[in-house]
Chains A and B, each alone.
Chain A
């Protein structure tokens, strides 16, 4: 399972403030904590805190100073993505993300090619978030085809079927699971499939329980990546257990320790 730490996102007030005030320490602290918890990538998102691409470059540099972990450069604006990618020190990276819109694909897919990065493709389009399985599959396939034609191998493509809050759109989670099952048929080997995991528990009381129950169901369907709260120990334990149940990890009595070991040494 490829885990992308979600915490350095200006949607969080402390991060937004740190970006505005150019405060290094709170950002580096989150980078270190997520890396220590075993994140494979640290997601970096300036969100609405700034429109200046230079702020993304600054944020990437601050994170790179703190940890050697690969970075997911997260923005919906190509110029911000480029600034972030340009600031990278050569470590592996993800472009997070393109949608299925033609203009986004045209601008963002070449960025991933140019910088040798992986690409997350979110199955949204100009009509907004998909409400059914068909559009999730159609949009996902469209991004997948565009990315592979541009020369990005399937193992560097991540498709995101768009997870919705269970609190407001309860019928959508099962459609996401169905879309995951369709995505893994796209190629052999299949692309990675990722979700913004914390979306599902938005405004709920049992956030962690809902999140970890969904991730286990989604892993059974074929999910192999997630942007998530890597500091949620119960979530990590559920993912570790699912890896064993799916026979991707040979069982041992100390399988949770094995998980922690692998994670502490920089992931899979």
Chain B
């Protein structure tokens, strides 16, 4: 006797907010393309349950100062361009297909080169003139310094509809004001804590910032370093967002490269860990595998480093979107 299989497809009451980054000339900016993320009405890649209008995208990371702690396997692909921010960004876009450039203003760190807000703004301008894709601008992480830098950077990039980050529970007012004044989007950061993720969004909203212009950064763990915990938080946030919780209905960003290239499994040279195999292969694999996990958890924007890992992630996205076998 045939067994009737019940229809277990789920449908949800709310779509994730759609966030567009970048602005072309028509939109008041100078980008040659814009990037739109979010808008999904189903869990990641559950095409059979609801529309997923925009595939996840990959941002590639560039720094305003040549990174000294990037291990060779991820430094070598950019060794020829790391001295020139513009060329580095161009290589990411033209050779490696980056959808976005994520400029990290590491040079502004008071414990490092302590670069000025004006130097930071010049770095942003250099990237903007070198590539046509939208920009993520990530502060140095020192709250006081970021609050000095972002007003200048935000103005320098006025109209470009950048994604600026990050706001946190303890530091959000300046960046909210900058993003409001110069029309940028914001990354809301929380330390692997869903309650704080929600709270940061409430604080931004309370300060007058639209919930539909935020991107959630719930913190990221590399494969082997708490990835399951981040995964469960992303999944819970996404379920709440799809279920109608407007404070959890934002696209999600994962900072893959920074986490992966900080762990020994990706960094250790073969001489140190001969049984782990070739570091040139292992590192990119670690980054790609971490990216796969976060795609399945609901990531909308992946920030990555190694070209091969980017290629693998982009191929996975095309396959999961049904565009490639």
- A residues lining the B interface (CB < 8 Å): 249-254, 257-258, 261-262, 268
A236 to chain B, nearest CB (A): 18
Please, could you name 9 A-B residue pairs with CB atoms under 8 Å apart, sorted by A? A250-B236, A251-B198, A252-B195, A252-B196, A253-B195, A254-B206, A258-B198, A258-B247, A261-B205
Within 8 A of A (CB), among B164-221: 194-196, 198-199, 202-203, 205-206
> Main SS of chain B's interface residues?
helix
Assess the B199–A254 pair: CB atoms within 8 A. yes
Assess the B245–A252 pair: CB atoms within 8 A. no
Pick the contact of A250 from B198, B203, B205, B206 — CB < 8 Å? Answer: B198
Known: A258-B247, A268-B244. A252 touches B198 (CB 8 A): yes
Chain A, residue nearest B247 (CB): A258
Pick the contact of B195 from A250, A261, A268 — CB < 8 Å? Answer: A250
- B residues lining the A interface (CB < 8 Å): 194-196, 198-199, 202-203, 205-206, 236-237, 240, 244-248
Assess the A252–B236 pair: CB atoms within 8 A. no
Chain B positions within 8 Å of A257 at CB level:
202, 206
- Bound: A262/B236 CA distance, A: 19
Chain B positions within 8 Å of A249 at CB level:
245
Q: How many A-B residue pairs have CB under 8 A?
A: 32
- Bound: A38/B155 CA distance, A: 40
Chain B positions within 8 Å of A261 at CB level:
205
Going nearest first, the 6 A-B pairs with the smallest beta carbon separation are A252-B198, A252-B199, A254-B202, A251-B195, A253-B199, A252-B195
- Bound: A252/B194 CA distance, A: 8
A253 to chain B, nearest CB (A): 5
Chain A, residue nearest B205 (CB): A261
Assess the A250–B202 pair: CB atoms within 8 A. no
Chain B positions within 8 Å of A250 at CB level:
194-195, 198, 236-237, 240, 245, 247-248
Chain A positions within 8 Å of B248 at CB level:
250
A252 to chain B, nearest CB (A): 4
- Bound: A253/B245 CA distance, A: 16
- Bound: A254/B206 CA distance, A: 11
B323 to chain A, nearest CB (A): 34
A260 to chain B, nearest CB (A): 11
Chain A positions within 8 Å of B247 at CB level:
250, 252, 258
- Bound: A258/B195 CA distance, A: 12
Chain B, residue nearest A244 (CB): B195
Q: A250-B194, A253-B199 are in contact. List 14 more A-B contacts (CB 8 A).
A: A250-B195, A250-B236, A250-B237, A250-B240, A250-B245, A250-B247, A252-B196, A253-B195, A254-B203, A254-B206, A257-B202, A258-B198, A262-B246, A268-B244
- Bound: A268/B247 CA distance, A: 13
Chain A positions within 8 Å of B244 at CB level:
268
Chain A, residue nearest B194 (CB): A250
- Bound: A258/B248 CA distance, A: 12
Assess the A258–B202 pair: CB atoms within 8 A. yes
Chain B positions within 8 Å of A254 at CB level:
199, 202-203, 206
